[in-house]
Structure 1
C-alpha cells in the first residue's frame, strides 16, 4: 500500500491562476495537477542528484581529469582554432 501526505503551501495569485488554468485544460482538479507536477519535479531532482553523486564518486575513486589538464587541452584547441582563423 502506498502512503500519501497532505502538503499545504502559500502561492501568489498569479501562480494559483496558472495552476487552475492548467488543471482546467486537463479536465482535472488543482490538487491532481499539483500532485502530478510535484511528482515529476521530485523525480527529476532525484535523478539529477544521483547523477551528481556519480560524478562525486568517480572523483573520490580518482577517475577524474585534473582541472589543469582540461584547461591545457582547451587552450590548445583555442590556439589551433585561432591559428586557422588567421590563415
Structure 2
C-alpha cells in the first residue's frame, strides 16, 4: 500500500476559516476535507480532459456540426423552454 504524502499550500485566513467551518460541519478534519477537495478537483479535471479529447477526436473524424445547425438547435431549445 502506498503511504500518503502531504502537500503544503498557503491559504489566506478567510479560506482557512471556510475550510475549517465546512470540515467541522461534516465532522471531519480540515486535512481530510482538503484531501477530498483535491481528489475531487483532480477527478473533474481528468473527466474534462477526456470530454475535450472526445470532441477533438470527433472533429478529426469530420463529425462536425455547422454553425447554422447549432444555432437552430439552440433556438429550438430556447423556444421549448419559453413554452414550458
Provide the TM-score with structure 1 as the length reference.
0.72
Match in the other structure for 1:31: 31
- In the TM superposition, residue 15 of structure 1 has moved relative to its aligned partner by 0.2
Kindly indicate whether residue 67 of structure 2 is the aligned counterpart of residue 70 of structure 1. Answer: yes
Q: Deviations 1:42-65 (Å, cap 9, x if unpaired)? A: 111111111011001111111122
**What RMSD, in angstroms, separates the aligned Cα atoms of the two structures?**
2.1
SS of the equivalent of 2:50 reads: helix
Larger Rg: 1
Runs of 4+ in 1 over 4 A off after TM superposition: none
Unaligned runs of at least 5 residues, structure 1: 79-87
SS of the equivalent of 1:18 reads: helix
Provide the TM-score with structure 2 as the length reference.
0.74
Match in the other structure for 1:13: 13
Distance (whole Å) between structure 2 residues aligned to residue 52 and residue 11 of structure 1: 31
**Residues 22, 46 of structure 1: CA spacing in aligned structure 2 closer, same or farther, 3 A cutoff?**
same
- In the TM superposition, residue 5 of structure 1 has moved relative to its aligned partner by 2.3
